[in-house]
Amino acid sequence: MSKIHVTTTVNGEPAEFLCQPGNSLLDALRDDLNLTGSKEGCSSGDCGACSVIVDGRLVCSCLMLAVEAEGKSITTIEGIANGDVLHPLQRKFLEHAALQCGFCTPGFLVAAKALLDHNPDPTETEARYWLAGNLCRCTGYDKIIRAVLDAAAEMRAGAPAGE
Amino acid sequence: MTPDISLSQVPAHARHGSSIGRPLTRREGVLKVTGVARYAADNHPAGMLYAVLAASRIARGRVTCLDVPAAMAHPGVVAVMTPANRPALALDPDAKLHPFMFRLDLLQSDAVRYANQPIAVVIAETLEAATEGAALLAPRYEALPARVGLDAGESFVPPVVGVGHPAEQLVGDVEAGLASAARRVDATYETPAQYHNAMEPHAVVAAWDGDSLSLDMPSQGMAMAQARLAGLLGIAPENIMIRSPFLGGGFGSKGLIAGPQVLGILAARLVGRPVKLVLRREQMYGPVGHRPPTRQRLRIGAGADGTLTALAHHALITTSTFDDFFEPAADASHTLYASPAIATSHTAVRIDTGTPMFMRAPGEATGSIALESAIDEAALACRMDPLAFRLKNYAEVEPISGKPFSSKALRACYAQGADRFGWAGRPLAPRQMRDAAGMLVGWGMGTATFPALMFQAEARAVIRRNGGGVVEIGAHDMGQGAWTALAQIAADAVGLGIEQLEFRSGTSDLPDGGIAGGSAHTATAGMAIHAAGGEAVARLAELAMDDARSPLFGAGNAGVVARDGRLFRRDDESRSESYADILTRAGLAQVEGRGKSGGDPAAQTAYAMHAHGAVFAEVKVDPDLGQLRVTRLVGAFAAGRIINPRMVRSQYYGGMIWGMAFALHEEAVTDRRSGRMLNANLADYHIPVNADVPEMEALLVEEHDPHVNALGIKGVGEIAITGTGGAVANAVWHATGMRARRFPIRIDDLV
Ligand code: FES
Ligand code: FES
């Protein structure tokens, strides 16, 4: 079967890869672009471990075809930090111990970034429902919410984005 | 002369500059928040092929036909592994040489003994080709009727339950105690099958080089996996290298190597190339263990004043048709409540299921939710507040054994938890409280407990002339924070700041760190590290004390203290010398120590060792619709010395959510006709999400235990599930007046 050439932008950099029509974006990211930060927990859209932002929209990359990435701009967990400077969400996740095994963490961070991009001042309920598509089996969730709300407050206050 | 270095060992948390007790952030945290942390399935060695399992669609019978030619004809498919061509094994996968050796399904025959059992493996150039190849196998079966559920067959008394515990235990005369009781409860509770559902599916990336095997594979017990594989494959354990730097959760399901992981390894052998095999989520409901369903009958007798006269706890459980794992659910009644008569017993039924396995608080969680519900019912029968009732029956010694507790700060847990929650003033009767929106509000509580176990481990410690140190142990961080907590113990053990210490872990070529299970990893691996560090420090001390040029010369019996890269004379801290100076003068680049840990049999014989806690829950129930939310959870836990409060609180939160999910969410539903699970995916198997989770608090109650081990560490990984399930269930009763005795509680139980 002939492969399809896809040209896209990943984390601000031009990227291209060859894929088959049935390949998921998650597989293209992980196998072809070697961006293994996005995880596969279910490949059925139920866990959010594969979350990425595509043209400003939060999507489960396991449910999107790789060919659909043509001409799009994609943000993955690898693109959240600014070089060596962690994003406030990443710092707050560490501070609040909002991760344990870390398998769900890339998805949560990407989903939380998408939330704050849309809504810099979410209520606790808004944050909980926005992040309800991301499963975590370890942390008990509460600290994730604390971390997200704390990061949002810091970003609104315009505090330095890293240290 | 053996130098006395005792001061460097106790009490470590109190010392200046100590790492133990500090709420450090997770050492590998930055790797995890940036996506750099490399989990097993993130590896991709050159030339790697993908393997995909074909899994049985029937629960019992045999496979009569696999269309191997069709699969082989699919472009990209390299091989199909079936019972006909699976590489030979040195040990029958059905052999059971010791109780911890569980039987594996490694294509040893065409027999099917549970749904989702692996029946073939397709290996291909791409994941898509392997997946399509597996579908093209189109298996045909000869199916027999599946045996499903607790009533599927004759029950029997298992030889042992849990890890070698008697299936039946008895003190006193339960029937007499019940007969003489002024108040009685006789209630039966059911709990469902549950699946671990770690977010990371089981995976293996296997590469053979001659008779050497290199594996990227999540493991809670690398040395055990190595030994198991060595036996199966007929190669030396040291020829097997396992890398397990990160586990995406385990909860017991990665404690023993799983059959599908072995199949990935055999697939790599078959094709002579590296192979990656990752279970699809729906394939995780079968071959990688689960918590079996239970039906538990509790009979409780109490005097008019609320004093227990008898406690009988029977559990009926299921296990597989081909192996022996028996969930010790009734043992939950051994430790918590004083009663002159206690009887616990188990019976089991064999059904067509994958073998159940250790799942976070195995037995403790299942038993706890039934026991804590029944205790609540008994408190009501005595017209007593549930906390007052529990205090009335507080066990001063372990009820089943009569042994004193090595430590037990449960009263403080009750007091601090109740205080923080605001328990005082709770009305006795149900349906008394409403919120502003008219929701029924209920408060419930439960007691938490988990044994303080110790397994065996080894560690190696090195102190270097350049002022640094290295501690090595093949320990496992499945998210609990082992790398962080163990590094803290290691830094103290060698008397260095944590920044000066290189902590190496997570591969099987390091000293055996034991198994990360039973909430015992910090204690077990920590004690091995403590011993290794102590030995390295002792070497240094010998060098210094025997050398007339050292300020520590002749410290002898006074001994020395190790801290911040220096040895101090214990009776005169103005006399000290740096590690670097001691080693330089001795002309040594480094000193090394090795340590082992294991339980202390004398202490274990003399004392009952358990962590304890108290959990308080608030729920709100819509009186018309029965819709139910947990709105507050407060837990207070005493588990000996806390190495890292930040990590520990996290463990408690996670455990409490598992307890809440036990009461309200998790349930595997099996189709009675096919024996297949109906909700084998994360959409239909409910684990809580953010929107389900209440405001939470976990209080760390101070507790010093001089007996469990020299570091005073109990375990924190599992205890918080216990108590919480019961607390939520009891709160539901208090809100509604309706007692659900089948878990998870459903809306239709409440309207
Ligand atoms: S892997 Fe995409 S939602 Fe689970
Ligand atoms: S941290 Fe393990 S699944 Fe979330």
On the question of pLDDT at B732 being above 70, the answer is yes
Helix axis angle for B259-271 and B222-233, nearest 10°, is 50
Q: Determine the pLDDT at residue A158.
A: 83
To the nearest whole angstrom, how far is the Cα of A155 from the nearest Cα of chain B?
A: 18
Q: Determine the pLDDT at residue A159.
A: 55
Flag whether B159 is in a domain.
no
Contact partners, residue B185, CB within 8 Å, separation at least 6: B298, B299, B300, B374, B377, B378, B381
Q: Give bridge partners of residue B501 from the DSSP assignment.
A: B469
Last residue of a domain, one of B573, B597, B621: B597
Mean pLDDT over B381-409 rounds to 98
Same domain for B381 and B465: no
CATH code for position B495: 3.30.365.10
Same domain for B377 and B273: no
Q: Determine the pLDDT at residue A56.
A: 97
Contact partners, residue B415, CB within 8 Å, separation at least 6: none
Q: Determine the pLDDT at residue B490.
A: 97
The listed range with the strongest mean pLDDT (B181-190, B477-486, B557-566) is B181-190
Domains of chain A: 4-79 (3.10.20.30), 88-156 (1.10.150.120)
Mean pLDDT over B384-413 rounds to 98
Same domain for B393 and B524: no
Q: Determine the pLDDT at residue B4.
A: 34
Same domain for B224 and B212: yes
Using CB atoms within 10 Å of the CB of residue B127, give its burial: 0 to 12 exposed, 13 to 18 middle, 19+ buried.
buried
Pairwise CA distance, residues A113 & A118, whole Å: 9
Q: Determine the pLDDT at residue B3.
A: 33
Q: Determine the pLDDT at residue B28.
A: 93
Pairwise CA distance, residues B359 & B196, whole Å: 6
**pLDDT tens per residue, range B169-184:** 999 999 999 999 999 9
Amino acid at B379: A
How far separated are the first and last CA of chain A, in Å rounded? Answer: 50
Q: Determine the pLDDT at residue B341.
A: 98
Which tokens go with B295?
């039906």
Nearest CA in chain B to A86: B34
DSSP one-letter string for B143-157 = E-PPP-STTSS--B-
Pairwise CA distance, residues B32 & B39, whole Å: 10
Same domain for B320 and B309: yes
Same domain for B530 and B488: yes
Residue B132 DSSP code? H
Residue nearest to ligand 2 atom 3, measured at CA: A136
**pLDDT tens per residue, range B181-191:** 999 999 999 99
On the question of pLDDT at B751 being above 90, the answer is no
Residue B400 DSSP code? T
**pLDDT tens per residue, range A107-130:** 999 999 999 999 999 999 999 999
Residue A41, ligand 1, Cβ within 6 A: yes
> Which atom of ligand 2 is nearest to A137's Cα?
3
Using CB atoms within 10 Å of the CB of residue B263, give its burial: 0 to 12 exposed, 13 to 18 middle, 19+ buried.
buried
Q: Do A100 and B251 touch (CB under 8 A)?
A: no
Chain B residues with CB-CB distance to A101 below 8 A: 198-200, 246-249, 478-479
The ipTM is 0.96
Please report the residues numbered 188 through 247 in chain B whose beta carbons come closer than 8 angstroms to any beta carbon of chain A: 197-201, 246-247
**pLDDT tens per residue, range B77-122:** 999 999 999 999 999 999 999 999 999 999 999 999 999 999 999 9
Q: Which residues line ligand 2 (CB under 6 A)?
A: A 99-105, 136-139; B 199, 249, 479
Flag whether B314 is in a domain.
yes
Quote the mean pLDDT of chain B.
Answer: 95
Query: H or E stretch including B529?
Result: helix B521-545
Residue B523 DSSP code? H
Q: Determine the pLDDT at residue A140.
A: 86
Catalytic sites of B, residue numbers: 718
Pocket test for ligand 1, best of A38, A46, A76, A103 (most atoms within 8 A of CB): A46
Does residue B375 come out as left (phi exceeding 0), alpha (psi in the -120 to 50 range) or beta?
A: alpha
Look at the block and give the residue holding tokens 């005082």: B424
Same domain for B52 and B117: yes
Chain A residues with CB-CB distance to B480 below 8 A: 100
User: For residue B86, what are the CA distances in angstroms to A2, A37, B265, B399?
Assistant: 33, 34, 11, 52
Pairwise CA distance, residues B494 & B535, whole Å: 9
Look at the block and give the residue holding tokens 């020829």: B239
Q: How far is CA B25 from the centre of its chain?
A: 22
User: B191: closest CA among B308, B293, B330?
Assistant: B293
Pairwise CA distance, residues B612 & B225, whole Å: 32
Flag whether B150 is in a domain.
no
**pLDDT tens per residue, range A50-75:** 999 999 999 999 999 999 999 999 99
Q: Determine the pLDDT at residue B629.
A: 95
Same domain for B685 and B548: no
DSSP one-letter string for A47-111 = S-TTEEEETTEEEETTSSBGGGGTT-EEE-GGGTSBTTBPPHHHHHHHHTT--SS-SSHHHHHHH
Which tokens go with B369?
């939710």
Beta carbon pairs, A and B, within 8 Å: 178
Mean pLDDT over B34-46 rounds to 97
Strand order of the β-sheet with B61-65 is B111-112, B61-65, B140-143
Query: How many angstroms is it from B654 CA to the middle of ligand 1?
Result: 21
Same domain for B620 and B560: no
**pLDDT tens per residue, range B454-467:** 999 999 999 999 98
Q: Determine the pLDDT at residue A160.
A: 53
pLDDT class of B16 with cuts at 50, 70, 90: low
Same domain for B446 and B365: yes
pLDDT more than 90, % of chain B = 95
Mean pLDDT over B26-32 rounds to 94
On the question of pLDDT at B6 being above 90, the answer is no
pLDDT class of B599 with cuts at 50, 70, 90: confident
Residue A101: what are its φ and ψ, rounded to 5°?
-65, -25
Q: B723 with B635: CB under 8 angstroms?
A: yes
Flag whether B178 is in a domain.
no
User: B196: closest CA among B368, B356, B323?
Assistant: B356
Same domain for B220 and B318: no
On the question of pLDDT at B52 being above 60, the answer is yes
Which of A113-117, B145-149, B222-226, B549-553 shows the lowest per-residue confidence on average (mean pLDDT)?
B549-553
Flag whether B271 is in a domain.
yes
Q: Determine the pLDDT at residue B738.
A: 96
Q: A7 with A47: CB under 8 angstroms?
A: no
Which tokens go with B634?
């407060």
Mean pLDDT over B229-251 rounds to 97
Domain that holds residue B86: 40-144+202-278
| DSSP-derived 3-state class of residue B451 | strand
Same domain for B71 and B33: no
Helix axis angle for B521-545 and B482-493, nearest 10°, is 20
Look at the block and give the residue holding tokens 């030979």: B88
Flag whether B165 is in a domain.
no
Last residue of a domain, one of B548, B564, B597: B597
Flag whether B188 is in a domain.
no
Q: A139 with A99: CB under 8 angstroms?
A: yes
Residues present in chain B in total: 751
pLDDT class of B7 with cuts at 50, 70, 90: very low
Chain A residues with CB-CB distance to B200 below 8 A: 39, 41, 101, 103
User: For residue B704, what are the CA distances in angstroms to B248, B597, B599?
Assistant: 32, 20, 18
Flag whether B387 is in a domain.
yes
Nearest CA in chain B to A108: B33
CATH code for position B124: 3.90.1170.50
On the question of pLDDT at A162 being above 50, the answer is no
Chain A residues with CB-CB distance to B479 below 8 A: 99-103, 138
pLDDT class of B17 with cuts at 50, 70, 90: confident
Last residue of a domain, one of B562, B597, B632: B597
Closest partner residue to B33 (CB to CB) among A93, A131, A142 is: A93
User: B289: closest CA among B359, B225, B349?
Assistant: B359
**Structural domains in chain B (count):** 3
Which tokens go with B189?
């509770």
How far separated are the first and last CA of chain B, in Å rounded? Answer: 75
On the question of pLDDT at B358 being above 70, the answer is yes
**pLDDT tens per residue, range B242-282:** 999 999 999 999 999 999 999 999 999 999 999 999 999 99
Residue B327 DSSP code? -
DSSP one-letter string for B30-95 = HHHHTT----GGG---TT-EEEEEEE-SSSSEEEEE--HHHHHHSTTEEEEE-TTTPPP-SS-TT-
Question: What pTM value is reported for the model?
Answer: 0.96
